[in-house]
Structure 1
Amino acid sequence: MSGGGAWLARAEALSERLVSVRRRLHRFPELSFEERETARIVAERLTGLGLSCRTGVGGHGVVADIVGDPAGPVVALRADMDALPIAEETGLPFASERPGAMHACGHDAHTAMLLGAAELLTEERAKLKGTVRLVFQSAEEINEGAKAMIEAGVLDGVDEIYGLHNLPTLSAGLTSVRPGPLMGSVDRIEIAVEGKGAHGAIPDQGIDPIVCASAIVLSLQSLVSRETSPFDPVVVTIGSIRAGEANNVIPSACTMTGTVRAFDPEVRRELSGRIERVVTRIAEGYRCRASVTYIRQTAVLVNDAEAARRVGEAIDAVAGADRRLTAAPTLAGEDFSEYLKHVPGCFFWLGSGPERDAEHAFGLHHPRYELNEACLPLGAALLAGIAASRLEEGPLHEPQAAGEGGISP
């Protein structure tokens, strides 16, 4: 089996191919659950490596197994494929040719990296101590793809799962990982406020839902500042408010949508009831009626502590210990968390920013986001190295003996 440094040397030899496929995908981005051409390219390349693919998994997902020792464990590697509804402003020669769509989160790079890892691992297939499952996922951006893949059986037989995400505010060549909670839960709220329309010059003849909605927005922040411990990170953000058409008319209704993020599962469970209480009672005080639709999307992303330690060791072997940092927790969300609810694993950051002043680079989801393609070989090498080393090392956790929390036969 290749050593850590050998994975990177071999991945660097693939650099031109990795850049080529990434730019092809970047030029023709596809939104969530529309990744038909992306999936076709992925399947075509995997088939070219002699792998048998399942397509149309959980939308347009593609799954393939690299089987070494069929009696060994199964380690999964995941990449997401979808783009965002953002108009690109980079001016790159391979910029998006599809108006209003852009790979502003780097999923084109993730796909290219996993294809590179597939090539590296296929060359070492005979030495693998088990099976590597390649998971190319649809619809991460709308928090639906992982659930759909799981429902389609992608985790059947899987012992562990690993994935990465590029980070443009971290210089290419660097990585960061942490055990335990890494990314927040993601929930959506939809609020409808009903008042009574009237002339804007005669407000006493109406019931103003805009004034009510304004009070609701401000009051929701008290859930963070006055009802949640300062040691429990929580964000409640209203991202859209829609009401009325004319400047001199009080509309009869107002709608709002927002996102709710938390880092503790118990805090997350409590937030829905608290939000409904604040919204409905504030509305009553303003003579309006209000309703809340609370949509749970993805859980807190919690890395298995032992898996994170092993990923750190693999990073040290492939890239060097000086290339590994400790990741800071963030309330940004990722539906990789759904896989981690079922099997242990680890998700980590891969630097994709400029070598200098990366912290000032345009971030993820920005129309001028740019990926430093120097990160592509390292990403491919890390994915391959992590999977191969995990198969070599054996299970993360020893089964519990009876009397130690296990169940006696």
Structure 2
Amino acid sequence: MSQATAFQPLLDAGKKLEDELVRFRRDLHENPELSMEESETAAKVAERLRALGYEPKTGVGGHGVVAELVGAKPGRTIALRADMDALPIAEESGEPFSSKRPGVMHACGHDAHTAMLLGAAALLAQQRERIAGSVRFLFQSAEEINRGARLMIEQGVLDGVDEIYGLHNLPTLAAGKVATRYGSLMGSVDRIEISLTGKGGHGAIPDQSIDPVVAASAIVMGLQSAVSREISPFDPVVVTIGSLQAGDTYNVIPHRASLVGTIRTFSPAVQASMKERVTRLAGKIAEAYRCTASVDYTEMTPVLVSADECVAHVVRTVEQAIGADNRVEAAPTLAGEDFSLYLQQVPGCFFWLGSGPREGAERAYGLHHPKFRIEETCLPLGASLLAAIALNRLQ
């Protein structure tokens, strides 16, 4: 029996779950919950796991849920992870099952990820006799604020885990396709907060003041030199100031100003160098404008780097299951994912699952867009592929 034929029953079983997965995903979509508030979502996940015969542990790393399937024979432990939180975005998708909660939306597809992992849990429960080892299912909260993975790791979810796998839907990739990449796939995420102190005064008498707004403007521009003149052009870096706040009215020079932003890199070495660089530049530029600066630099998540052996396993499994023509090379992105924290602890692989319109159809809206939508045919395929990845590793 060929491998492609061997995976067909699993794909067929996943397809039979489609209606159930769609219903579950739509229920989550109508009732989204923000990071660290996913209590209802977690309760629904736990209820479904119990119906499948699992004994889930709840309240892990916030509202995370963990369940384990122990195979018929001893062996390694493979973890599969999905995230559950939504975003503070007002939905404009026009879907009949749009969010019922104003200003909150599943605009990144974590509702779909949760449904897929539940589908994988259902499929693997039927394959227990073929499993040599264990599969641990991690339903994680608070991915969007880069807290959930760290909290779950601190509570021991990776204890005894040999490898971990996860996926993320991608609406700009056609449903039915998978994208993988060796090495670095997604960027690091750091947060910077710069507080400036000058000397407030009348807007008409600037010589008697020290203007922190001018200093802040110079820092915004000066930080770009960290990219253009201090880092190799072959090492991608993005420095974005997303908030600059100062003053309350038109004719007053404020006493203080604050800047908040993010830094993304694609190299662990470059990420490690950015704190010193930002602190130095902000401090020296502020000094040149007679202001003082304090910098709060937080490294939130590292570069997401999959292990070569695990990527090769995913590539083999995907190509055997759906054909090599349905797997493509993933482009690198500086968007971040706290799955990278798991990969710092154990080897694993993170990959993209197409959730967009078929090639040649209408253009899809991207992740975090208020009109974000997915092709729900990706749900049973994602469930089947996650199950196949674990099953193929534990036989």
TM-score bucket of the superposed structures, by smaller chain: over 0.9
Contact (CA 8 Å) 1:14, 1:116: kept in 2 or not? Answer: yes
Q: Is it true that 1:89 corresponds to 2:92 in the alignment?
A: yes
Determine the structure 2 residue equivalent to 1:270.
273
Pairs within 5 Å for 1:164-175: 164-175=167-178
CA shift for structure 1 position 7 = 1.7
Over the matched positions of the two proteins, sequence identity in percent amounts to: 62
TM-score, scaled relative to structure 1:
0.94
Equivalent AA in structure 1 for residue 294 of structure 2: S
Query: What SS class does the counterpart of residue 3 from structure 1 fall into?
Result: helix
2:314 to 311, 314, 321: 311
Q: Is it true that 1:54 corresponds to 2:57 in the alignment?
A: yes
Equivalent AA in structure 2 for residue 123 of structure 1: Q
1:80 to 79, 83, 86: 83
CA shift for structure 1 position 3 = 2.2
Q: Is it true that 1:391 corresponds to 2:388 in the alignment?
A: no
Distance 2:72 2:154 in 1: 26
Aligned CA distance change for structure 1 residues 254 and 358 (closer, same or farther; 3 Å): farther
2:151 to 148, 152, 155: 148
2:251 to 248, 258, 277: 248
What CA RMSD, in Å, does the superposition of the two structures yield over aligned residues?
A: 1.3
Query: What SS class does the counterpart of residue 130 from structure 1 fall into?
Result: strand
Distance 1:356 1:92 in 2: 21
Q: Is it true that 1:68 corresponds to 2:55 in the alignment?
A: no
Distance 2:156 2:45 in 1: 19
Cα deviation, 1:17-61, whole Å, max 9, x if unaligned, reads 010000000001111111000000000000000111110011110
Aligned length: 392
Cα deviation, 1:247-296, whole Å, max 9, x if unaligned, reads 22211111111111111111111110010000000001111111110001
Determine the structure 2 residue equivalent to 1:138.
141
Contact (CA 8 Å) 2:73, 2:131: kept in 1 or not? Answer: no
Q: Is it true that 1:212 corresponds to 2:204 in the alignment?
A: no
TM-score, scaled relative to structure 2:
0.97
Cα deviation, 1:190-217, whole Å, max 9, x if unaligned, reads 0101111122222222111111101000
Distance 1:87 1:19 in 2: 22
Determine the structure 2 residue equivalent to 1:42.
45
Q: Is it true that 1:328 corresponds to 2:331 in the alignment?
A: yes
Aligned CA distance change for structure 1 residues 77 and 221 (closer, same or farther; 3 Å): same
CA shift for structure 1 position 356 = 3.4
For structure 1, which runs of at least 5 residues remain unmatched after alignment? Answer: 393-409
Distance 1:199 1:4 in 2: 74
Contact (CA 8 Å) 2:357, 2:363: kept in 1 or not? Answer: no
Determine the structure 1 residue equivalent to 2:305.
302
Determine the structure 2 residue equivalent to 1:180.
183
Contact (CA 8 Å) 1:62, 1:136: kept in 2 or not? Answer: yes
Contact (CA 8 Å) 1:171, 1:358: kept in 2 or not? Answer: no
Contact (CA 8 Å) 1:74, 1:130: kept in 2 or not? Answer: yes
CA shift for structure 1 position 360 = 3.8
CA shift for structure 1 position 337 = 0.5
Contact (CA 8 Å) 2:182, 2:311: kept in 1 or not? Answer: yes
1:286 to 281, 284, 289: 289
Distance 2:374 2:186 in 1: 21
Identify which range, 276-285 or 191-200, moves more after superposition: 191-200
Pairs within 5 Å for 1:80-119: 80-119=83-122
Determine the structure 2 residue equivalent to 1:202.
205
- After TM superposition, the runs of 4+ consecutive aligned structure 1 residues lying more than 4 A away are none
Contact (CA 8 Å) 1:7, 1:318: kept in 2 or not? Answer: no
CA shift for structure 1 position 317 = 1.7
Query: What SS class does the counterpart of residue 318 from structure 1 fall into?
Result: helix
Determine the structure 1 residue equivalent to 2:341.
338
Distance 2:209 2:61 in 1: 48
Equivalent AA in structure 2 for residue 326 of structure 1: E
Equivalent AA in structure 1 for residue 359 of structure 2: R
Query: What SS class does the counterpart of residue 132 from structure 2 fall into?
Result: coil
Pairs within 5 Å for 1:23-38: 23-38=26-41
